[in-house]
Amino acid sequence: MSKKSGTPKESQVQSAIEDYLKLLERGGRCAYIKNNSGAYKTERGGFVRFGRAGSPDFLLFLDGGRCWHLEVKTAKGRQSKSQKDYQLMVEELGHLYLIVRSVGEVVELFEAR
């Protein structure tokens, strides 16, 4: 949790959501990928980038060929330009892109389907 606000960090929300998705996957309700992107510094001082800029934190694969793209944010978190661009691209292809801020929101998504 953040020392100042007492609210969970984005990484804590991601971990809670991933724990829930693991349960759903074991129950046959979805398959998921935790999507990582970023960079690391090499010994020579260069950077190696991995993942795709703007791609969501989780890709969920559901029955009927459906795919949900879940971006995790804190209560005050906002999308970057590359995340907005990615959202537009996948929505134009008919995919569902969602910003979630708690594991409770993900639970509600599955209860509603």
Domains, the chain, in order of start with CATH, read 10-112 (3.40.1350.10)
Predicted structure pTM score: 0.85
CA angle 29, 86, 113 (to 5 degrees): 25
Residue 42 pLDDT more than 70?
yes
Separation CA 16–CA 11 (nearest Å) = 9
Residue 3 pLDDT more than 60?
no
Q: Comparing 82 with 37, which gets the higher pLDDT?
A: 82
Q: Which residue, 31, 27, 19, is CA-closest to 63? A: 31
